[in-house]
Amino acid sequence: MSASVLQPKRRFQLVMIKPSHYGEDGYVIRWWRATIPSNSLASLYGIAQESLARRVLGPDVEIDIEAIDEFSARVDISKLVARLSRHDNFGLIMLVGVQSNQYPRALDIARPLRDAGIQVVIGGFHVSGCLSMLDGSAVDLDACRAMKVSLFAGEAEGRFDTILRDAAAGRLEPIYNFLKDLPGIEGTPAPFLPIENVRRTLGLSTSFDAGRGCPYQCSFCTIINVQGRKSRFRTPDDIEALVRSNWKQGICKYFITDDNFARNKHWEEILDRLIWLRESQGIPLGLLIQVDTLCHKIPNFVEKAKRAGVTRVFIGLENINPDNLLAAKKRQNKITEYRKMLLAWKDHGILTLAGYILGFPADTPDSIRNDIAIIQRELPIDILEFFCLTPLPGSEDHKNLWTIQTPMDPDLNNYDLEHVCATHSRMSEDEWKAIYREAWALYYTPEHMRTLLRRGAATGVNLGSLVKLLMTFSLSQRLENVHPLQWGVIRLRHPSERRPGLSAESAFWFWPRLTIEIAGKTAIALAALSRLAVQGIKISRDQNRLKYTDQALSRVSDDDADSLQLLTQTSSAKQSAAHQKKIFNLTHGVG
């Protein structure tokens, strides 16, 4: 036998970690089952698998790949150190998809790894956004340099082999910056996670991006400065391949993470392929997509989305005050189209989720309360998600404040769209914090949730899904003090996950208290779910459920616009309505 056969192969340890961040209690936010899968982790895992198949480190080196999403799995640093030590530190820890609010936790993970001599690379929107918009050392990037953690900016397609080879040779560069060379993604390895990871999400769902980049200029957004304003796309063949590979694992539910799937120039080809897979190949697809407020004007878009398996759609509504939208450069949002767009989705029995940002220049606590009441009454939105306007590093808003040295919250852990991180001209910090908490209670009243269930029954949405969403969005802030998008089933903690600088808790009290807390909160959640489920069952059995209507579901013509406070509450709203009516009259030969 040859010497090469007798000699054992070296095993390169590649561990990819998507960090979580710290909660108000100082512990990492981690769940028994998380709600949203990480597309960054899936993208890197898919790329790593392809590199492994090509044996990029040579025929005598195997690559052991592990993906850890800290939102649903504990990062046991001592075990990682021991594992790498057994292989003489021949390996690499990658902190992937790190957002600004996750950056402090990422540093806390990296520090003991670097102390043990383990190579670490960090990438994601925080690193890429700071390097794209600032001077290269701002917003704590020097903390990585001090630890000799390598920075990765840009996207990994076509560059991953370089990182692996440099790490295997022990010569990682301090920085890999590919922001000015964004790759095409057609034909590249598709996002993929093994079933062991996907099982840790609710509903056995995963994610993929059909495209990257966005043509719009929203000042609060980091995507346009990291992924660019020129859109890049996967092909229908790419999408079919990833759907089939996941279906082999029994996975058929997806969050398509495109910031705006409606602006993907291949949307129809992709939806046609998904329709074929669903209707002819028997793959029972269930999809959540993100779109803009003008998507309903694209011929066949809504109809084909329904046939492809879209059950939920997230819309960046952001605000109902045109002055606020203009201030944020959200010019594509037309309040005169909101009702038509939402009703188009309701006509096909698709659940509508909308984002609403609090803290725009014209906002006050009273105006926000009034806006929520208008939305409840006049817009057929199922789920409304509230966010604080946050100057995220990598956004134009952050750069403008940073340039003129306006004070911002120094703790990046708070940049999670739930905390107040900057000053406001018309609200104090306490007022802003209070109205954010109040907004959830204002929208998710028992009466309005009953109305939402009645609207759902009348428009044919899945009431079981709506019930679960209403439970989640009405309770998460009150019960766990986190945004619903960060919520999951059973909040888990470990003493080792306490934020450095905070006092350690006695194990004698920690575990009993955690057990009692989990039991209490689970009981509250189950009781709320039961109440909503009973209401949903009663409404679904109502023989007159299909006849239900209210102002939000009614069809209002342009001549009836004066009946909507949405279009009359401010001078800018009136101007928008008048302009829309003028355009209608000109294009239809009226008047």
Tens place of pLDDT per residue across the chain (591 aa): 444 455 668 999 999 999 999 999 999 999 999 988 899 999 999 999 999 999 999 999 999 999 999 999 999 999 999 999 999 999 999 999 999 999 999 999 999 999 999 999 999 999 999 999 998 888 999 999 999 999 999 999 999 999 999 999 999 999 999 999 999 999 999 999 999 999 999 888 999 999 998 887 888 889 888 998 888 999 999 999 999 999 999 999 999 999 889 888 899 999 999 999 999 999 999 999 999 888 899 999 999 999 999 999 999 887 877 777 676 565 555 566 888 889 999 999 999 999 999 999 999 999 999 999 999 999 999 999 999 999 999 999 999 999 999 999 999 999 999 999 999 999 999 999 999 999 999 999 999 999 999 999 999 999 999 999 999 999 999 999 999 999 999 999 999 999 999 998 998 999 999 999 999 999 999 999 999 999 999 999 999 999 999 999 988 665 555 667 776 766 555 555 454 554 444 444 545
Q: Residue 75: is it exposed, middle or buried by C-beta count within 10 angstroms (0-12/13-18/19+)?
A: buried
Largest CA distance in the chain: 93
Domain presence at residue 39: yes
3-state percent breakdown (helix, strand, coil) of the chain, nearest 5: 45, 15, 40
Which pLDDT score, from 0 to 100, does residue 574 have? 58
Report residue 199 as tokens.
């099982």
Residues in contact with 528: Cβ distance below 8 Å, sequence separation at least 6, in sequence order: 471, 474, 475
Report residue 587 as tokens.
């294009």
Task: Please answer whether residues 117 and 142 qualify as being in contact, where contact means their C-beta atoms are separated by less than 8 angstroms.
Answer: no
List, in sequence order, every residue forming a beta bridge with 155; answer none if it has no partner: none
Sheet of 61-69, strand order: 61-69, 10-18, 91-95, 120-123, 150-153, 175-177
Q: pTM of the entire structure?
A: 0.92
Domain presence at residue 165: yes
Q: What amino acid occupies position 378?
A: E
Domain presence at residue 94: yes
Angstrom distance (rounded) from CA 474 to CA 468: 10
Structural domain that includes position 99: 11-177
Domain presence at residue 137: yes
Supply φ then ψ for residue 247, to 5 degrees: -65, -30
Question: The domain spanning residue 33 has which CATH number?
Answer: 3.40.50.280
Domain presence at residue 573: no
* CA 224 to chain CA centroid, nearest Å: 15
List, in sequence order, every residue forming a beta bridge with 387; answer none if it has no partner: 357
Which pLDDT score, from 0 to 100, does residue 578 have? 54
Domain presence at residue 279: no
Angstrom distance (rounded) from CA 251 to CA 225: 33
H-run or E-run covering 22 = none
Task: Please answer whether residues 503 and 44 qualify as being in contact, where contact means their C-beta atoms are separated by less than 8 angstroms.
Answer: no
Dihedral angle, C-alpha 386, 472, 370, 557, nearest 10 ° = 100
Report residue 336 as tokens.
């005169």
Tell me which residue of 369, 296, 354, 360 sits closest to 330, measured CA to CA.
Answer: 360
Which pLDDT score, from 0 to 100, does residue 555 have? 80
Residues in contact with 384: Cβ distance below 8 Å, sequence separation at least 6, in sequence order: 353, 354, 356, 372, 375, 443, 473
Q: Please tell me the total number of residues recorded for the chain in this structure.
A: 591
Map 178-235 to HEC letters.
CCCCCCCCCCCCCCCCCHHHHCCECCCEEEECCEECCCCCCCCCCHHHHCCCCCEECC
Q: What amino acid occupies position 308?
A: A
Residues in contact with 250: Cβ distance below 8 Å, sequence separation at least 6, in sequence order: 195, 204
Task: Please answer whether residues 485 and 472 qualify as being in contact, where contact means their C-beta atoms are separated by less than 8 angstroms.
Answer: no
Report residue 131 as tokens.
């390097």
Which pLDDT score, from 0 to 100, does residue 584 have? 43
Domain presence at residue 532: no
Which pLDDT score, from 0 to 100, does residue 289 have? 96
Report residue 509 as tokens.
């009290």
Domain presence at residue 360: no
Tokens 């959830």 map to which residue?
A: 440
| Angle between helix 446-459 and 463-480 (nearest 10) | 160
Total domain count, the chain = 1
Other C-beta atoms closer than 10 Å to the C-beta of 555 total: 9
Task: Please answer whether residues 87 and 57 qualify as being in contact, where contact means their C-beta atoms are separated by less than 8 angstroms.
Answer: no
Angstrom distance (rounded) from CA 456 to CA 465: 10
Map 245-257 to HEC letters.
HHHCCCCCEEEEC
